[in-house]
Amino acid sequence: MGIPDIKIVSEKVEKYAKGHTSTYLDAVVKVAEEEEIDVEIIGKFLSKPIKEKLEIEGRELNLIRSKKPKLPF
């Protein structure tokens, strides 16, 4: 296997996330497994929009601390 292309990996993540109605986090893990890329380094092969979607998702799931506090209502 050669070096993965950012565009191809990002397209696969988008396709999986939309086609399986799963989270982007799940899609990234699935694509990492399929492409045999370590999940710890797959971030290097993701586009900026996908990284931003992952960050938003992480904040919503309380996996990442928000920079600004969010009111509970």
Is pTM beyond 0.75? Reply is yes
C-beta of residue 39 within 8 angstroms of C-beta of residue 29:
yes
Q: For residue 66, give both structure tokens.
A: 């928000």
The average pLDDT across 56-73 equals: 78
Q: Residue 61: pLDDT band by 50, 70, 90 thresholds?
A: confident
DSSP 8-state symbol, 30: H
Please state the domain extents for the chain: 6-60
The pLDDT, as a whole number, for residue 44 is: 93
| Cβ neighbours of 45 (radius 10 Å) | 22
Q: For residue 61, give both structure tokens.
A: 């799931």
Tens digit of pLDDT for each residue in 5-33?
899 999 999 999 999 888 999 999 999 99
Tens digit of pLDDT for each residue in 47-59?
999 999 999 999 8
